[in-house]
Structures are given as C-alpha cells and as structure tokens.
Amino acid sequence: MSAAYDTSPKPLQDLHERVALVTGASSGIGEAIAEHLVRRGVHAALFARRSERLEALAERLSVHSEGEHPGETLVITGDVRQEEDVQRAVQATLDRWGKLDIVVANAGFGYRLSVVEGDTQRWKEMIDTNVYGLLLTLKHGVAPLLERGSGHVIVMSSVAGRVPTPGGAAYCGTKFAATAIADSLRQEVGPKGVRVTTIEPGVVISEFQQVAQYAPEIVPNMLKGAEPLVPTDIARAVVFALEQPAHFAVNEMVVRPTGQAYP
Ligand SMILES: NC(=O)c1ccc[n+]([C@@H]2O[C@H](COP(=O)([O-])OP(=O)(O)OC[C@H]3O[C@@H](n4cnc5c(N)ncnc54)[C@H](OP(=O)(O)O)[C@@H]3O)[C@@H](O)[C@H]2O)c1
C-alpha cells in the first residue's frame, strides 16, 4: 500500500519571494503578521483604513541589517466593507508583483454588550466588517490563488468563534460565521491546491480592547491572572502554518494564553 505514496518527509517551505495581502495591517495582529512575513522575505501589501499607520509600518520594515533579505511592502488604504477597495487592493498587489500567494483576512473588531443593550449601528458595522468584509476579501483575494492552483488563506477568527459568551452574542456570531466561512472555503479550494487556515486566538493584548470599548474588568476576568498573548505569538502561529510543506494543511489553530480557561 505505502508504495503508492511518496512517504519521504518534505522540507518546510521557504517563504522568500512569496506575495501576501494582509488586511488590518495597521495595528495589532495584522501588523505583527506583516512584519514577520516581510522579515522572512515575503512581499506584503498592507491594507487598512489608517494610511499613516501603514506608511509608518512600511518605513519601519524598509530598515534592515546587512545580510537580511526582507520583502518589499505596498501600502493600500481602504475599507474591507467596500468591494471596490478590496478589488483595488488585490489588483494593486497583482500589478506590483505579478502574483498573489497568501491572503491574510485579519481585519475586524469586537464589541461586547448584551443582546438587549447592544447598539444596533455598532452591530451593523461589526457584521459588515467581520463577516461581509471577510467574504469580500476571500471572494476577490482567493480568485488569483485558484488561477495558479496554489496558495494559502489565513482567516482570523477567535475563540469567540468556538465558545459563545454572555455579552458576546454579536461578536461571537461574527466569529462563528468567520469559522464557518473559512471551513466552507477550505472544502471548495483545498482540492484545487489552495490551503485555508483558521486561527482562533484567545486574549491578545492589542488595540482590540480599546476599539471594543471593553470595561476595565473584562480582560482580567478572562485571564484570571494568566499572562495574555501578544500579536507576535499569533504571527508565529501563522508562519508555522505557512511554512508547512504543500501537502500539509493546518486547518485550524486555537491559541489561548496557557492560563486562560474561558472562553
Ligand atoms: N485581540 C484579541 O484578543 C483577538 C482575539 C481573537 C481574535 N482577534 C481578531 O484578530 C483580528 C485583529 O485584531 P487585533 O487584536 O489586531 O485588533 P486591532 O489592533 O484593533 O487591529 C484591527 C485591525 O483591523 C483593521 N480594520 C478594522 N476595520 C477595518 C475595515 N473596515 N477595513 C479595513 N481594516 C479594518 C484596523 O485598521 P484600521 O482601523 O486602520 O482600518 C486594524 O489594522 C480581528 O479580526 C479580531 O477579531 C483578536
């Protein structure tokens, strides 16, 4: 039986000269992923709404020591909720480097209030960003990968996409959706050579908590004294998935602080 298969261990992939589009690259997890990719020689299109933050990141990544061969960057300002912005980002990436290998669909934000107290406008913005914006990123970002029959898609979901919590109805809903969307996509594109990895982090300290307007007790209640994750931890998880040989797809990674029991 085994003679029918090549069972030799395959080497890890070198990411040098790969091309990535990273949404939500202006802060936190997306910024750390972009940095880790560029330092490994990946050319990265940095996409978000705050252009000055993206420019500052691009500037920082352009400085390197002798002997290092980092990738190039391209700043693209836009909103994942706007289809023309997402299309423009994909096209600009293709125009610059002639291909796209990696799509990191990371842009998103949280908001916690009970169903009865929740602000309906904030729900709409969050669903538009975390669900519709994700779908737009995947629709336009995955097409060039399919054309070449290879590539890797990273979808940033959350432990909130596995465990519902009181106060989390809307956010958990968007992240359950993200996990489902990613796994549907995996089944569509895996047989065509494109890998999909869903990352589901627990508490990561970033601007997320500020944007979500978390009350001061929320994070300590989740951590109960545990050391939280930082964006670099998630970037390392992403690099681990990307570097695996082409036949090996990390479908899902749940990454919590060691001491975080819930959610
Ligand atoms: N931090 C956590 O504890 C945690 C845990 C699990 C999952 N996550 C997920 O990880 C992802 C990144 O979060 P983070 O912790 O890095 O938070 P963050 O530091 O606030 O970063 C969020 C990023 O998303 C971008 N973004 C938001 N809305 C956007 C829009 N409409 N169009 C384009 N970009 C948009 C922001 O850029 P601009 O504002 O410049 O547009 C920013 O770059 C999110 O999907 C979040 O749900 C976070």
What's the pLDDT tens digit per position in 218-255? 999 999 999 999 999 999 999 999 999 999 999 999 99
Q: Report if residue 168 sits inside a domain.
A: no
pLDDT digits (tens, 9 = 90+) for 2-40: 689 999 999 999 999 999 999 999 999 999 999 999 999
What type of residue is 5?
Answer: Y
Q: Report if residue 116 sits inside a domain.
A: no
Q: Report if residue 120 sits inside a domain.
A: no
| Contact in structure between 88 and 16 (CB atoms under 8 Å) | no
Question: 187 has which bridge partners?
Answer: none
Give the CATH number for residue 31: 3.40.50.720
Structure tokens at 34: 């972009």
Q: Which residue has the tokens 């993200």?
A: 178
Angle formed by the axes of helices 28-39 and 231-243, to 10°? 50
| Contact in structure between 226 and 256 (CB atoms under 8 Å) | no
Tell me, in angstroms, the distance from the centre of ligand 1 to residue 164's CA. 19
Ligand 1 atom with the shortest distance to the CA of 205: 1
Q: Report if residue 238 sits inside a domain.
A: yes
Is 111 considered catalytic here?
Answer: no
> How many Cα atoms occupy the beta-carbon half-sphere of 169 within 13 Å?
12
Q: Who contacts 2 (Cβ-Cβ below 8 Å, separation ≥6)?
A: none
Q: Report if residue 220 sits inside a domain.
A: no
- Does ligand 1 lie within 6 Å of residue 132's CB atom? no
Domain that holds residue 191: 13-109+133-161+178-207+228-254
- Does ligand 1 lie within 6 Å of residue 201's CB atom? yes
Q: Report if residue 44 sits inside a domain.
A: yes
Tell me, in angstroms, the distance from the centre of ligand 1 to residue 137's CA. 14
Residue ranges in the chain modelled with pLDDT below 50: none
- Does ligand 1 lie within 6 Å of residue 148's CB atom? no
Q: Report if residue 117 sits inside a domain.
A: no
Q: Report if residue 127 sits inside a domain.
A: no
Domain count for the chain, please give it.
1
- Does ligand 1 lie within 6 Å of residue 28's CB atom? yes
Ligand 1 atom with the shortest distance to the CA of 211: 20
Return the pLDDT at 64: 87
The model's pTM is 0.98
